[in-house]
């Protein structure tokens, strides 16, 4: 009987842990330094991927879900008074999206400013979501969404969602990171 209970406990714990988003120690330290929380997914397992090199954004964590066919890249930027874009997250984010987005003539970029309800969920002072076609040098996926959230005194967090076909879970993945 004890063996059965122990096996059941081990199976349950391993199932719960596999639903956690895999994080590196360096990324966890960065999350703690900005007081950012991860809203872990409850379903499909995500696997760590090596952060791809590109000229536009130094991703600090990259994960992929084979079941969702969704890649997520994360970047956290602590606020610094020496930064050219200090207290101007809208300028920094707009410039980033212009650099990440395709320059093809038929490429379209859409922006959505979050309202009070979404800002409360993110515990942010400012947040936007950009949908665009990424440059091939950034990703081979055909679509991207960049969610940017800013909290004064802490910094800026980026979640980049990359996919070919919109996964059913996309809306839930848009709020993966939030300030505490």
Question: For 89-130, how does the pLDDT look when each residue is reduced to its tens digit (9 = 90+)?
Answer: 999 999 999 999 999 999 999 999 999 999 999 999 999 999
Higher-pLDDT residue of 138 and 9 is: 138
Categorize the per-residue pLDDT at 59 as very low, low, confident or very high, splitting at 50, 70 and 90.
Answer: very high
Are β-strands 36-38 and 155-163 bridged in parallel, bridged antiparallel, or unpaired? unpaired
Residues 18-37: b if buried by 16+ CB within 10 A, e if exposed = eeebebeeebeebbeebebe
- Quick count: other Cβ atoms within 10 Å of Cβ 102? 18
User: Which has the closest alpha carbon to 109: 86, 85, 128, 126?
Assistant: 128
Q: Which domains does the chain have, with CATH numbers?
A: 2-179 (3.40.1000)
Pick the more confident residue, 177 or 45: 177
SS3 165: coil
CA separation, residue 98 to residues 19, 130, 161 (Å): 34, 10, 16
C-alpha–C-alpha distance, residues 104 and 114, integer Å? 27
**Model confidence band, residue 3 (pLDDT cutoffs 50, 70, 90):** very low
> What confidence score (pLDDT) does residue 85 get?
93
Residues with Cβ < 8 Å from 153, sequence gap 6 or more? Answer: 79
Lowest-confidence segment of 45-49, 61-65, 69-73 by average pLDDT: 45-49
Q: What is the pLDDT of residue 99?
A: 96
The answer, yes or no, to whether residue 170 has pLDDT greater than 90, is no
pTM attached to this predicted model: 0.86
Give the residue from 85, 95, 102 showing the smallest Cα distance to 140: 102
| DSSP β-bridge partners for residue 78 | 155
Residue 69: pLDDT over 90: yes
């Amino acid at each position: 009987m004890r063996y059965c209970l122990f096996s059941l406990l081990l199976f349950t714990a391993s199932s719960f842990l596999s639903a956690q988003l895999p994080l590196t120690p360096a990324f966890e330290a960065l999350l703690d330094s900005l007081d950012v929380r991860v809203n872990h997914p409850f379903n499909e397992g995500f696997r760590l991927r090596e952060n791809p090199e590109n000229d536009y954004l130094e991703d600090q964590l990259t994960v992929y879900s084979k079941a969702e066919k969704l890649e997520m890249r994360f970047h956290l930027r602590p606020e610094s008074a020496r930064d050219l874009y200090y207290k101007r997250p809208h300028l920094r984010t707009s410039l980033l999206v212009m650099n990440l987005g395709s320059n093809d003539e038929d490429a379209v970029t859409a922006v959505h400013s979050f309202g009070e309800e979404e800002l409360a969920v993110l515990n942010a002072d400012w947040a936007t979501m950009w949908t665009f076609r990424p440059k091939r040098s950034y990703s081979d996926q055909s679509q991207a969404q960049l969610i940017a959230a800013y909290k004064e005194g802490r910094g800026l967090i980026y979640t980049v969602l990359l996919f070919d076909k919109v996964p059913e879970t996309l809306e839930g993945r848009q709020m993966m990171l939030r300030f505490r």
